[in-house]
Amino acid sequence: MAFPDKSCLFAFATPAEFIAFFPEYETTADEFTPDKLIELSEGRGYACILGLGILSFATNLTYMLGLVRQRAIPISSVFILGVCGAYPNRGIDPLDVVRVDTEFVGDLGYQDADGSFYPFPSTVRATDSSQAPLHLQRLKSVVGLTVNRCTGTEELGFLRSRTFDADIENMEGAAGIAACMAYRVPVFEIRAVCNMASTRDRASWKFNEALAALRKCVMCGE
């Protein structure tokens, strides 16, 4: 398939991520509320900015998918795009671009009296990568952990990675995949690593560089 095409929906959590892909909208991005479907110029499909975190992303993407169905807008697939943190010792480095094929909800479960955490089953899987554009099929497949509280210590990073056998951490992936599954819309999640999900060090983050790498990979196939 040509990519992007007029039937793709690009889903972002934040205006900064959206603007990195479509810089011509920089001056108007603040006008795009989570309930607004953005029809991209030059037949490049649609986009939406849904908000940060599980609750906002799930609620607003569900609304958006209902809206396009109500308006009979043909959406062939949803692409969840953004940055993420990589857990240590998983063979993933800052600025790597990865395809997240499986997601877990990392905060769903209970803590026992001794401090042990017991997760509830919460696995969701994106559409099989064989249905993705060819250049995205070639990306490294990883397991993601969707969390409400980002990792800030080395201890928590190793615990989360070990508990779920997860490679990367984000705040929306499982929510977005689940919404698309409910509407039976193909969904793919592509992210670039901004930082290591370990001891929190904002000075070492590569947010803008990660977004540049993500756009180059997704839109240009490089």
Q: What is the pLDDT of residues 100-117, one digit of tens each?
A: 999 999 999 999 999 889
pLDDT of residue 30: 81
pLDDT of residue 105: 97
- pLDDT for residue 152 is more than 90: yes
Q: 């039976």: which residue's tokens?
A: 184
Q: For residue 73, name the pLDDT band (cuts at 50, 70, 90).
A: very high
- pLDDT for residue 209 is more than 50: yes
List the structure tokens of 208: 């803008």
pLDDT of residue 208: 96
Under 8 Å between Cβ of 172 and 146: yes
pLDDT tens for each residue of 176-196: 999 999 999 999 999 999 999
- pLDDT for residue 1 is more than 50: no
Q: Which of 13, 1, 67 is nearest to 189 (CA)?
A: 13
Q: 136: Cβ–Cβ under 8 A, 6 or more apart, which residues?
A: 99, 129, 188, 190, 218
pLDDT of residue 107: 92
Q: 């108007």: which residue's tokens?
A: 28
pLDDT of residue 6: 85
- pLDDT for residue 2 is more than 60: no
Q: For residue 222, name the pLDDT band (cuts at 50, 70, 90).
A: low
Q: 């980002």: which residue's tokens?
A: 150
pLDDT of residue 87: 98
List the structure tokens of 186: 């193909």
**pTM (predicted TM-score):** 0.95
- pLDDT for residue 55 is more than 90: yes
Q: What's the CA angle centered on 28, arms 43 and 214, to 5 degrees?
A: 60
Q: For residue 5, name the pLDDT band (cuts at 50, 70, 90).
A: confident
- pLDDT for residue 10 is more than 90: yes
Under 8 Å between Cβ of 186 and 77: yes
- pLDDT for residue 81 is more than 60: yes
- pLDDT for residue 13 is more than 80: yes
* Residue 136 parent element (H or E): helix 134-137
Instruction: In whole angstroms, give the CA distance from residue 192 to residue 9.
Output: 19
Mean pLDDT for 48-73 is 97
List the structure tokens of 101: 């094929």
